[in-house]
Amino acid sequence: MSPVRRLLPVLLLILFPVAQMLPARAAEAVVQRSVLALVDLREEKTIRLSRIHTMAELPLNHLGLSVVYWDVAQGLPDPDRYRDLRGVITWFAGDPFADAQDYVRWIEQAMDRGLKVAVLGQTGVRRSLDGTLTPLAVVNRFFGRFGLRDDDGYSDLTYKSRPAVSDGLIGYERPLAGMPPGYPLLRKTDGRFTSHLVMRRGGDAATDSHLVVTGPAGGLVVEGYARHHDAEMNRRQWLIDPFAFFRAAFATDDLPKPDVTTLSGRRIYFSHIDGDGWRNQTEVAPFSKTKLLSADVVRMAAIEAFPDLPVSVAPIVGDLDPVWKGTPEALASAKRLFALPQVEPSSHTWTHPFQWAFFKDYDPAKEAAFLDRADDYGGPRSPLDRLMGRSKRDTTAEDAGEVADIGRYAIPRAYLRTPFDLDQEIGGALDYFTRLAPVGKRATLVQWPGDTSPFEAAVAAVRKAGARNMNGGDARYDADYPSIITLPPIGLPVGAERQIYSGNSNENTYTDLWTNRFFGFQNLINTVRNSDSPIRLKPFNIYYHMYSGQKAASLNALRRNLQAAREAEIAPVAASAYAAIAEGFYTTRFRAEGERRWRILDRGALNTLRFDHASFTAVDFARSSGVLGQRRFQGSLYVSLDPVVAEPVVALEETERADRDPPATVPYLIEGRWALAGLAADGPGGAFRVAAQGYGDGTLTWQVPVSGRWLVTAERNGTRVWQGEAEAGADGRLPVTVAAPAVEPLLLRLRPAGR
């Protein structure tokens, strides 16, 4: 059997993955990378809207930390239930504990067992839930753990207060300017802690209060000094540098970071389309003359015109199936799209629920009240009506507001022909789109519709159907949203399940919910740039709806984004592949095996690790296995893992130079557009082979131990489909461009000429 045939199932699993649970391992000493977030859901209502999830979890994820949540309304958790717990984080708005002294004892026990604690906002220790004050001696047991002492004072008149100490951790997105918030008087008592912000009143050093500290036990930021909130603009910005604060508080420098933004040394790119507006008649000339569907315009102008950029297309069954509100024309347009090699079939469900909470405890009788509003949902309406789920009779915002039970939507889902059926919405829709696709293609991704807030059983249904899920998050980082706070974390826990967020927001947030400024989506590129510099925080994701093919302005904006992607250095993958990588972030574990050497366990489809502050660091290939390559970027070292190696080992060493790729005695990948697997020697003289899959020409850069001319061939099923040459410079860099399609995997062979 040829190497390609042997590797094909592996590549398909990596790049077009189906859900699977890896077997549990026996208890073992692993590197701690989980942080326990204590939240009070009596006050914050949901994890999705909590301060820790919306503000702190993104930087924690970037530092390699996975966040687990506990609602303190249920009491205090047993830390032993978490096998790799590194620390605890809190961000309270008040005092949520029935017995604050019991909480102080819990924190002390957690720290005594080596857990680090990061406290932002209110501490939760000054009084109990019933208002009973905590004795000051007990309060100071808590503050003493952070090298501080509470002098039982408070500065509420701060017009004379100025920073006596304010280091680089302060003023990250907004300077500490104007009248500072009131603050408690906290003296430092332990020199092992670093004070990042010290406020002084009237120039008197005796009044110094230490408001932001980090040290061996964790870190603390008093209320009002972590982030600024502009109530008028509804805008939040960090006052502290959350990356630096959490890095110090949780001591993450020794932690390998599972990275979901990068593949083969390049930024991951993926694109996905929700099917809303599929049957809208386009207004774009010259397509409007023949009354083309928006879906067909998107296909011709934004998909067929960019064959090097993959896209996952998710229709709504009700929009296509003639038994519902579909037409033969709409059905045919889906088949044409799914037949394109760069298109992955996905699902936007069967009936397009608008508010998922309505269906958590479904009552058909409750939904029956909306039937008179939905009799002509499939007919021609304005885009706003379509977005809001209004029928032609419901033409005003006041009409929509009458239905308070489902928020801003006028009906609970787009199509009410039959009672809601979760199995039909998830597994049924996936099967429907798989049948529409060519043989060999499967729909394995559910793109959440409506408010993108599925309940636990809905996410579980996706997993049980052997698929992945994605959507939600609405990532923006631009002039209108000038903070990383509006970049969401990787995903959201939904009960025992996990929702994966999309990489970027769709065009709705740029067009006022598709009501005006239809050109607005062109501003996506600002978020793309800002989330890649000065540190890479998100993949490059173009996410939109089929109604972008309805108007000339929206279509032009979309094409500008696609052109920007074409010009960027990216590693394009299907959207389901990104969802699989994101899931791997949460399952990945590390086992330390000697100095600066780790074995990687249970990583799923995630194949990139990042080591920060690593300009003079390189992979020690002699002590490593299962490593494809390495690349330095932004002061970090990105390490590419070989997908065919279940438990790779990564060891690091120091190098003398940061201005060139580290030399090695074996070939390794620096960066490339394609996903690679199965790197192996292929004869004498340094020759090697590797399987590849991807979109567009295969631009790859290798570091090889032999300079001079190299011969490169590409094979599929034992037949050579391309051959060429490349030149390795004296520094060992070997740039290669394979001009052959690799949507179906190839086997690449590279060998020095004459050997």
- Please tell me the predicted confidence (pLDDT) of residue 372: 75
Tens digit of pLDDT for each residue in 463-474? Answer: 999 999 999 999
Residue 33 CA to residue 610 CA, distance in Å, equals 14
Q: Which two tokens stand for residue 468?
A: 């992945």
8 A C-beta contact, residue 187 and residue 210: yes
Of the two residues 234 and 430, the one the predictor is more confident about is 430
**Tokens for 698?**
């295969």
* Gap between the Cα atoms of 48 and 494, Å rounded: 9
Cα gap 68→72, rounded to integer Å: 13
pLDDT of residue 691: 98
The answer, yes or no, to whether residue 401 has pLDDT greater than 90, is no
Please say if the pLDDT value at position 479 is more than 80: yes
Mean predicted lDDT score pLDDT of the chain: 91
> What does the alpha-carbon distance between residue 199 and residue 205 come to, in Å, rounded to a whole number?
9
**161, pLDDT greater than 50:** yes
For the stretch 437-469, pLDDT in tens is 999 999 999 999 999 999 999 999 999 999 999
- Radius of gyration from C-alpha coordinates of the chain: 27
- The continuous run of DSSP H or E covering 611 comes out as strand 608-611
Tokens of 658: 């940061």
3-state secondary structure of 90: strand
- Which pLDDT score is estimated for 392? 37
What is the number of alpha carbons within 13 Å of residue 706 lying toward its C-beta?
Answer: 16
Q: How high is the pLDDT of residue 319?
A: 96
* 578, two tokens: 């990104």
pLDDT-derived band at 383, boundaries 50, 70, 90: very low
Of 30-39, 125-134, 397-406, 415-424, which range is least confident?
Answer: 397-406
CB 340 within 8 A of CB 312: no
Helix (H) or strand (E) holding 262: strand 262-263
Look at 391 and 730; give whichever has higher pLDDT: 730
Q: Tell me: the pLDDT tens digits for 578-634?
A: 999 999 999 999 999 999 999 999 999 999 999 999 999 999 999 999 999 999 999
Specify which residues 454 forms β-bridges with.
Answer: none
Distance between CA atoms of 541 and 527, rounded to whole angstroms? 10
pLDDT score for 395: 31
Q: Burial, 234: exposed, middle or buried (Cβ in 10 Å; 0-12, 13-18, 19+)?
A: exposed
Question: Strands 266-274 and 262-263, how do they pair?
Answer: antiparallel
Residue 366 has pLDDT above 90, yes or no: yes
- Integer Cα distance of 463 and 497 in angstroms: 9
d(C-alpha 582, C-alpha 309), whole Å: 20
**φ, ψ of residue 17 in degrees (nearest 5):** -80, 155
pLDDT of 371 reads 83
DSSP 206-243: EEEEEEEEEETTEEEE-TTSSEEEETTTTEEEESB-HH
Which pLDDT belongs to residue 410?
A: 82
Q: What is d(CA 201, CA 251) in angstroms, rounded to the nearest whole number?
A: 32
Q: What is the pLDDT of residue 374?
A: 58
Residue 713, CA distances (Å) to 125, 149, 692, 719 in order:
67, 69, 12, 10
From the number of C-beta atoms within 10 Å of its C-beta (0-12, 13-18, 19+), residue 290 rates as exposed
For the segment 489-510, the average pLDDT, to the nearest whole number, is 97
Q: In this predicted model, which residue has the larger pLDDT, 407 or 265?
A: 265
Element (H, E) at 464: helix 456-464
Peptide bond before 163: cis, by omega within 30 degrees of 0? no
Q: Picking from 5-14, 510-519, 676-685, 689-698, which range would have the lowest pLDDT averaged per residue?
A: 5-14
Distances (CA, A) of 380 to 391, 565, 750: 9, 33, 57
Q: How far is CA 107 from the centre of its chain?
A: 31
Question: Both tokens of residue 37?
Answer: 């977030």
The dihedral sign for the CA sequence 184, 185, 187, 193: positive
Helix (H) or strand (E) holding 39: strand 34-39
pLDDT class of 107 with cuts at 50, 70, 90: very high
Q: Which two tokens stand for residue 384?
A: 């706003």
Identify the residue whose tokens are 């047993």. 78
Predicted confidence band of residue 60 (pLDDT cuts 50, 70, 90): very high
Identify the pLDDT of residue 231: 83
Give the total residue count for the chain. Answer: 755
Instruction: Measure the CA–CA gap between 378 and 381, rounded to whole angstroms.
Output: 8
- The label of the residue with tokens 């009936």 reads 351
Confidence category of residue 369, pLDDT binned at 50, 70, 90: confident
Span 198-227, average pLDDT: 96
DSSP code string of 646-685: SS-EEEEEE-S-SSSPPP-SS-EEEEESSEEEEEEE-SST
Single out the residue of 651, 658, 663, 643 nearest to residue 707, CA to CA: 663
Res. 516: pLDDT tops 50 = yes
pTM of the model: 0.93
Dist CA 673 CA 695 (whole Å):
8
Report whether pLDDT(278) > 50.
yes
Class of domain 32-255 (CATH, top level) = alpha beta
- Predicted local distance difference test score (pLDDT) of residue 408: 55
Instruction: State what percent of residues in the chain have pLDDT above 70.
Output: 91
Query: pLDDT above 90 covers what percent of the chain?
Result: 86
DSSP 8-state secondary structure symbol assigned to residue 690: E
Domain ranges of the chain: 32-255, 275-356+422-571, 580-752
The two most distant CA atoms of the chain are separated, in Å, by: 84
- Tens digits of residue pLDDT in 529-586: 999 999 999 999 999 999 999 999 999 999 999 999 999 999 999 999 999 999 999 9
For domain 275-356+422-571, the CATH architecture is Alpha-Beta Barrel (3.20)
Q: Is 21 exposed, middle or buried (0-12, 13-18, 19+ CB in 10 A)?
A: exposed
